[in-house]
Each structure stands twice: as C-alpha cells, then as structure tokens.
Amino acid sequence: MRFEARMLSYALLAGFPAVLVAVLLLWFGNYSSATRWTLGSLVVMFWLGAAFSLRSNLVYPLQTLSNLLSALREEDYSLRARDARPDDALGEVMLEVNALGEALHGRRLGALEATALLSKVMEEIEVAVFTFDSEQQLRLMNRAGERLLGQPVERILGQTAAELGLGDCLEGEPARTVTISFPGGAGRWAMRRSSFRESGMPHELLVLTDLSRPLREEERQAWQRLIRVLGHELNNSLAPIKSMAGTLEMMLERQPRQPDWEDDMRRGLGVIGSRSAALSRFLEAYSRLARLPKPTLQPVEAGALLRRVVGLETRATIAMTPGPDLIVSADPDQLEQLLINLLRNAVDAALDTGGGVSVGWTRRADQLEVCILDEGPGLSNTSNLFVPFFTTKPTGSGIGLVLSRQIAEAHGGSLTLENRKGHVGCEARLRLPIYGFPSALEANGREASGS
C-alpha cells in the first residue's frame, strides 16, 4: 500500500469510532428523520474532510522535500523550500535542506573554479601530460602533449599507448630518464608515472619533461664559465710575457746597448719563466681537476686514517676528539687527500689569528661525519668556496676545495664549509655513507667469540 493510502487509512480509522458513536446516537435517539440525516451527513463529511486534509498536509511537504532532494541530486541548487520555520520539526528539516543546497552550491563553485584553474595550468605548462585508462587507451592530454605527438587530442583520443609510441613508458620503473623520438621532438625525457582512480576505475598518469633544453643551457653556461676562467688566467700570464718580450726585443735592437743590459735581460727572462711556470701549474691543476679517477673502494678504518692525517700536520697542535670505531667503504688515497686539504686550510686560517684547530668524528644514522673546527678569521664569502680557481690565499691554486668536494660526492657523501655559529672561525663537515661494514670493536668481538 502506498504511503498516501496508509496515511489516509490511519486518519479514517482514527475518526471512525467517534463517527460511529455519533451516528448510532443520532439514529437511536429521539430525533426527527430530517435531523438525523442532516447531522449524520455533517459528521461524516467533517470526518472525511479532516482525514483527507491530514493526508494532504502530510504528503505535500514530503513531495516538496522530494523535489528539493531530486534537484540537489541533479546538481540544480536554485530551488529552496519556502515558509520554512525553525519552531517546528518539519520546518527544521526544510531549513537543513536549504542549508545543504547552499553548501553544495558553494562547493560546486569551488570545484568548478579549481577545475578551470587546473585546466588552464595544464594547458599552459611545458610538461606533456597524458592519462590512460586500464586498457592503456588515451583519455586526456594537454597542449604540450599535442605538440609532442604532433596531433590534436580529438584525433588520437582512444588510441592505445603502443600506437602513440608511449607503450614503453607504461612499463618498468615509474620514474626514470628515457630517450625517445616523437613527431614533435626527440631527445632525453624525464618520465614519471603514477596511478589514480576515476569513477572507481584505475588510470595511469604519465608526465614527460624535456631534459634536452635545460641540459643544453647548463652545458652552454659551463662552457662560458670555463672559457671565462681560462681566458682570465691566460691573459694574466700572457700579457706580462708579451710586454716583457717586447721590452727585451727593444733592448736587443738598441745600439749602443746599456751597460747593465745583461742583468735586465736576465730579469726579463726570469719574469717570462715565472709566468710560464705559473701558467703551466694552472693547466696542470685544471688537468688534475678534470682527470679525477673513480674511487677504488675498500674497507677503511676512519679513526686510524684521521689520526694518520693529523700526524702529518706539524705546524700546529691539533686537538683530537676520538669517536666510535667505524669502517667505511672508501678509496684511502683520495680520502686522505681530501682530509689533508681540509686540515691544511684549517691550520692556515688558525695560524693567522693564533687560534686552535680541533678534529672529531661521530656516527649520524648510517653516515660517518667528520668535523674539523678552526678558530681563524672565518669566511667572508661562502658563495665562491667551491668555484674552480677561486682562492683567497696569495699562493693558492683554487682547486683544493673543489677537488675535495668531488672526492666526497664520488664516495656518495657531501662536504660543507661554513662559519661557526656563536664562535669565531669556520667548520668543515664531511659526511660519508657507511655501507654496512661492522665497527672494528664489533668485528674484534666476533673474532674473539669465534676463537
């Protein structure tokens, strides 16, 4: 039975006993026939009118509420319930439905604006974005993807990744560098792939970033820096050589020659020789920087290596704070050269002010951290520390720190140099990974227990 029929039945049943009693009293009472029919008809009509009115008052608000909820389901938020009052139960329901419509309307506007912004960003970025469904069919592509594939999205929508030349990108590692040729360009691409769900179905998001252009730009800047450095150093050496050679030529052509022309000639040749030697040292230093070999890794005991390096420095007394017994995988020759460079710089700085130098090492998670502290004047400019051939020392070559950082990074570590906080001087921190080698104490303990 429908809800409306049930409500009408309940209303009729609720009034039926009273109507029956009233009719019986009229029928068996001492009333005239006209009075009986008139009053009986009025009672029955009032009973039926009240029942149908109750039905209408129940059904109409529910129909209104149903229309409002249907409009919300259809994303039509323009309908509102009228005459909703907070002083009765039905009015509170209507007010809540109106508030729900307002909230959904606001969220829809926010979603539309966010979607419009996302679409605009997707169209304007230079990164190619593709979306594939579970069948590897193309479902979405931005403007950069259209330029890359050389076709509009309307023409290739629904084609598979294999047909578009992107089949390999949906296999293997989700983040890697690939070399692919497309109708719109060829070169190296940074590829990233991730999964998401839309309407409960799995999809793949593929992003391709062109690496050729930034790599070419970095290469161009590297060549510019190299030419600028080489040109500066060559001019510094060739200019005085050229000037001195011209002066010596004039001295030889002058007749009669000066009495001390031989001494002037020797001094001039000495200047030419010293500048030639400086230029040769510069080129040799640059060759060393460019020919750094790959490290030959082997187990190295950190404490023993540091103590050996500290023992090589005899110009100052170095305070040493012992750390844990650790064994790292490193090239001992390269690592020793790195530590010698850092310790020599620290001692040079400390000698200028009469300060001290301290060395210590510790373990940070899975890394060995070596810290070299000095009480020198500190660093005035930290931005050029690792620029090749930049030096603040009169006789420095400018490659020590660059070479040291290259050695650290070749070992999978890092090197930082900065001013000390709350104290004069600077601190050098070398971090190297510990590749699972046991400490010396642990190894000795196992050997003892085994014997």
**pLDDT per position as a tens digit, 381-416:** 655 555 554 455 544 445 667 778 888 888 888 888
d(CA 65, CA 392): 82
**Mind listing the pLDDT tens digit for each residue in 98-142?**
888 888 888 888 877 776 776 777 777 778 888 898 888 988 888
* Model pTM score: 0.43
Percent of the chain clearing pLDDT 70 (strictly above): 82
CB distance 419 to 372 below 8 Å:
no
Cis peptide before 256 (omega within 30 of 0): yes
Q: Which residues contact 234 (CB under 8 A, 6 or more apart)?
A: 279
d(CA 264, CA 318): 47
CB distance 170 to 161 below 8 Å:
yes
The predicted pLDDT at position 359 comes to: 93
Burial of 181 (0-12, 13-18, 19+ CB in 10 A): exposed
Of 165, 184, 210, which one is at a domain's C-terminal end?
210
Claim to verify: residue 313 and residue 262 sit in the same structural domain: no
Distance of CA 64 to the CA centre of its chain: 52
Q: Does residue 177 fall inside a structural domain?
A: yes
Residue 171 or 263, more confident: 171
As a residue count, the chain comes to 451
- What average pLDDT does the chain have? 79
In terms of Cα–Cα distance, which of 357, 338, 341 is closest to 349?
A: 357
Claim to verify: residue 392 and residue 280 sit in the same structural domain: no
Distances, alpha carbon 274 to alpha carbons 130, 222, 229, 278, in Å: 63, 30, 20, 6
Of 243, 273, 290, which one is at a domain's C-terminal end?
290
Claim to verify: residue 267 and residue 307 sit in the same structural domain: no
Task: Dump strand ranges (E) for 375-442.
Answer: 414-419, 426-433
CB distance 374 to 426 below 8 Å:
yes
The one-letter amino acid code at 446 reads R
Q: Is 57 helix (H, G, I), strand (E, B) or coil?
A: helix
| DSSP letter (8 states) at residue 157 | T
Helix H or strand E segment including 351: helix 332-353
Q: Does residue 67 fall inside a structural domain?
A: yes
Over 50: is that where the pLDDT of 179 sits? yes
Range of the domain at 421: 298-442
d(CA 389, CA 407): 17
Domain count, the chain: 4
Claim to verify: residue 245 and residue 314 sit in the same structural domain: no
Claim to verify: residue 311 and residue 181 sit in the same structural domain: no
d(CA 171, CA 193): 9
Task: Dump strand ranges (E) for 337-380.
Answer: 357-364, 367-374
φ, ψ dihedrals at 371, nearest 5°: -120, 125
- What does the pLDDT average to over 278-300? 71
